[in-house]
Homo-oligomer: A and B are copies of this chain.
């Protein structure tokens, strides 16, 4: 039976063999978990994702969302699956116990999320989006706010959102026009319109709690004058029951390229009567509080892209094993036709996909590991370093996984060829759904600016140097093993060149030539991502090579050899392209800045 959604063996390899997640289980924070319980959770999550969640993906899209009289009706088939996930608390696996979650380690939460997201991302989001809102309230809310909202959000009884974007304030949050006027009772009256609000209105949760960015009368212009408010759809009575309807209404939903069952809402506040909001934290702290949620959101979107890519790859490799077409290359004309996995160009494509999916999964889990370490590492210094690494790599996770994940989805359609272009196979839907990741939670261009403008210079560049040093540790270990020695030397070449590129670009970013430097920021982010892929795959190959020395049985043998081949493929075939990209950044052409606006033509 072919695997679905994510390759279980590969996930287990990353979690237990590549990274030492077992060490976290020794921490008292995770006393309730051991390797066996983690494996059980993963197995059970996988089963539910495949059997209960996945069947709703295509059917849900077929049925679609319905918007009528300010309400959004989700597909019928979502309801039982939603209840199942809610009852089983699958949405709050890695949320701390004190917030009502299961308190599981990050790695297991992410692994299960990979299955759930691949099974049906929009459904999963309805179940788990309250966590971000809850986290914000837990960190910045009053005791009463925490008591009122957090556990109901985490249990998915209520839903959570993030009301940031307005028609004239997308990437430019500081341009928002929603206003807040303080009332005598300490509440605020909110007036404004928000767009592109994921799950802003729908019928799966009893209540929806909206964190809303708005400007208090008289506050400074730009991002400095932004505050954040809790705006519940229904007011909450003192006993926790639901009270009156607040004046926040859905005015429409977007018709989109993909994630069509995820309600992307326009919301109007204070248009019919009075929309009441409760200040979260202090006035003008809105951006700080929101950014606290942003890193997590960016990590999650990266995981979303990975999960689509992983599911698409498995579909493609399965199709390639079953689809019979043409004789094998080099065989006589009357030779029987073979499965297309035998054809060299199909193999190249599949290994291209496999190496990216594996590399991205390891990358994601590596950054998750840093996040865990930022809380659990023994020394303050280690914790600080882990957090810095997490901060440095988050924009790369977001942008690189978005773009490469999408390309994997596109190549999966290519393996299916004509059949893949029809809506009969899920590869078509995965591809459309995946495209959103490069856009929301900050476009790839925004991530690249964040990386070059803020993250590269963290601690005077020391965080980045530590990052390079971490890669070189793996390189040094891999050089000691015959099977990985040559690959390690190649990765060393990439790391050294990346360091050179970073220095050159950083210097220019702080000079009069800064515009040109920023015109190369996204290629630079990609170069960094390429290097991380090479690193992660080398690391995998190193672990696999060591396992191969113990003469594993047949299935493990194929798995471990597959790791070595993936690393070889990526480092020797994609690596040189990455080096070429680095050369182009070093050359730092200013053509994109120099060309006049009229020179773009079309006038």
Interface residues of A (CB under 8 A from B): 2-3, 7, 9-10, 165, 168, 170-172, 175, 196, 221-222, 224, 254-258, 313-314, 317-318, 321, 324-326, 329-330, 333-334, 337, 341-351, 354, 406, 410, 413-414, 417-418, 420-424, 428, 431-432, 435-436, 438-440, 443-445, 448-449, 514-516, 518-523, 555, 558-559, 561-562, 565-566, 568-569, 572-581, 583-584, 587, 589, 591-603
User: How far is B581's CA from A575's CA once the two chains are assembled, in angstroms?
Assistant: 9
On whether the beta carbons of B347 and A593 are closer than 8 Å, the reply is yes
Is the Cβ of A417 less than 8 Å from the Cβ of B599? no
Q: Which among B341, B345, B351, B591 is the interface contact of A522 at CB below 8 angstroms?
A: B345
Q: Are A597 and B417 in contact (CB under 8 A)?
A: no
A557 to chain B, nearest CB (A): 9
Determine whether the beta carbon of B576 is less than 8 Å from that of A578.
no
Please determine whether B559 and A601 come into contact, CB atoms closer than 8 angstroms.
yes
Q: B345, B431, B435: which contacts A521 (Cβ < 8 A)? A: B345
Choice from B224, B435, B572, B596 contacting A421 with Cβ under 8 Å: B435
CA distance A516 to B351 in the complex (A): 13
- A29 vs B228: C-alpha distance when bound (angstroms): 73
**B438 touching A324 by the CB < 8 A rule?**
no
**A255→B515 contact, CB < 8 A:** no
Evaluate contact between B2 and A329: CB separation under 8 angstroms.
Answer: no
Q: Does the CB pair B317–A602 fall under 8 Å?
A: yes
Residue numbers in B under 8 Å from A558 (CB-CB): 596, 598-599
- Contact B562–A591 (Cβ < 8 Å): no
Q: Which residues of B contact A602 (CB under 8 A)?
A: 2-3, 7, 313-314, 317-318
- Chain B residues with Cβ below 8 Å from A559 are 599, 601
Q: Is the CB of B596 within 8 A of A515?
A: no
Bound state CA distance, A344 and B453, in angstroms? 13
Q: Which 8 A-B pairs have the closest CB atoms?
A: A580-B580, A562-B599, A558-B598, A345-B445, A569-B591, A572-B589, A344-B519, A565-B595
- Can you add 6 more A-B contacts, CB < 8 Å, to A317-B601, A406-B410, A577-B581? A255-B424, A257-B428, A414-B438, A565-B594, A572-B591, A580-B581
- A562, B596: Cβ atoms closer than 8 Å: yes
Partner of A515, one of B330, B515, B581: B330
Which one of B224, B422, B565 contacts A599 once the chains associate, using CB atoms below 8 Å?
B565
Cα A349 to Cα B592 with chains together (Å) = 9
State whether A7 and B595 are in contact (beta carbons under 8 Å apart), knowing that A345-B448, A584-B574 are contacts in the complex: no
Does the CB pair B420–A592 fall under 8 Å? no
Contact of A351 among B418, B421, B436, B595 (CB under 8 A): B595
* Residue from A421, A575, A581 whose CB has the most chain B CB atoms within 10 Å: A421
* Chain B positions within 8 Å of A603 at CB level: 2-3, 555
Docked pose: A422 CA to B601 CA in angstroms: 26
Cross-chain contact B521 with A171 (CB below 8 angstroms): no
Question: Considering the chains assembled together, what is the distance between the CA atoms of A518 and B445 in angstroms?
Answer: 36
Nearest Cβ distance between residue A562 and chain B, in whole angstroms?
3
**With contacts A440-B418, A515-B344, A594-B565 known, is A423 near B329, CB below 8 A?**
no
A435 to B171, CA, bound (A): 28
User: Within the assembled complex, what's the spacing in Å between the Cα atoms of A325 and B443?
Assistant: 13
A424 to B435, CA, bound (A): 16
CB distance from A569 to the nearest CB of B (A): 4
